[in-house]
Amino acid sequence: MLNKETIRDWFISLQQSICEQLEEADGRGKFISDAWDRPGGGGGVSRIITNGQVIEKGGVNFSAVWGKAPEHTLKMLKLNESSADFFATGVSIVIHPHSPKVPIIHMNVRYFEMSTGQYWFGGGIDLTPHYVVKEDAAYFHQQLKKACDQHHPSYYPEFKKWADDYFFIKHRQETRGVGGIFFDYLKEDEGISKEDRFKFVQAVGQSFAPIYTHFMRKNKDLLYGEKEKQWQYLRRGRYVEFNLVWDRGTKFGLETDGRTESILMSLPPQANWQYSHQPQPGSDEATTLELLKKDINWIS
């Protein structure tokens, strides 16, 4: 029987494995480890890398927390119990590279369980290139599709669309990047067992390091200059806007006294804002903006 301890332990091993693969591909940066306790129950280990050869700032966080379920969770589950306990565990990653030619990446895999019996898996992975390169976006989506298709034919199309809708900066009418997959509330359902759901989540988690180290190795030596660097800072500004204004996990964490430094490890080392910045028509920057749209089929 698949219990929460098994899932939690697998997330711990995933964190370790991803950190090792990222360190190897970076060649210089080393993760530091910062363990923390949650006053209401549980805790986590934030692993942070700074000033690598490729990675400027990144975090690979594990947490397993429990306690009294928040009001809004009881409401969402239509539970009449005046109190019930929750358990939540997962791994969250954001990597900001030095080079504007290497994309930002985010991944999250998580498991949630109530003392009243409900449980579900959730997660997602999305890529935010400072410059959108169609071939790179196609590679990214092909890898995700491969991981999805091995588990259910509806996963990729459904979760790709969900990612387009989720990773959307509404006040800019821009997607955060080239999307990816996003899923939530996956439980035993329609002939898919809890074990099968977990196997899918494991496949997503294991896909992260091979995908991102591919981009690290392939793009790290591409040339760029001051113009590209300035554009990167503006795009990182958009990343900040998405995370602080729209990202449900960030908002929920900050509003419910989550561990601030672990939640905000997703923010870039430096971000810039310029009033009404408009890229030159026809420039690579303008082309990128045109490709930050929903419903692009990157694979076709």
Binding site for a copy of itself (CB under 8 A): 34, 46, 48, 50, 57, 59, 170-172, 233, 237, 240-241, 244-245, 251, 254-255, 257-258, 260-261, 263-265, 267-276
For a copy of itself, the closer of residues 217 and 277 by Cβ is: 277
Hey, how many other C-beta atoms are within 10 angstroms of the C-beta on 91?
A: 24
Least Cβ distance, residue 35 to a copy of itself (angstroms): 12
Under a CB-based contact definition with an 8 Å cutoff, are residues 29 and 49 in contact?
Answer: yes
Minimum CB distance to a copy of itself, residue 120 (Å): 26
Q: Which is nearer to a copy of itself, 154 or 260 (by Cβ)?
A: 260
106: annotated active-site residue: yes
Paired sense of beta strands 85-97 and 104-114, if any: antiparallel
Closer Cβ to a copy of itself, 15 or 207, answer by number? 15
Smallest distance from a copy of itself to CB 55, Å: 13
Q: Report in angstroms how near the CB of residue 119 gets to a copy of itself at its nearest.
A: 28
Which CB atom, from 36 or from 142, has the smaller least distance to a copy of itself? 36
Q: Which residues of 227-254 are buried (b: 16+ CB within 10 A; e: fewer)?
A: ebeebbbbbbbbbebbbeebbebbeebe
Give CA–CA dist 220/29, Å, rounded.
Answer: 14
- Smallest separation (angstroms) from a copy of itself to the CB of 273: 4
- Which one of 106, 130, 141, 151 is the catalytic residue? 106
Can you say how many angstroms the Cα of residue 86 is from the centroid of all Cα atoms in its chain? 22
Cβ 267 vs Cβ 247: under 8 Å: no
Residue 9 makes CB contacts below 8 A (sequence gap 6+) with: none
Residue whose CB is less far from a copy of itself, 177 or 268: 268
Reduce the DSSP state of residue 91 to 3 states and report it.
strand
Nearest to 21 by CA among 57, 67, 50, 60: 60
What amino acid positions are annotated as catalytic residues? 106
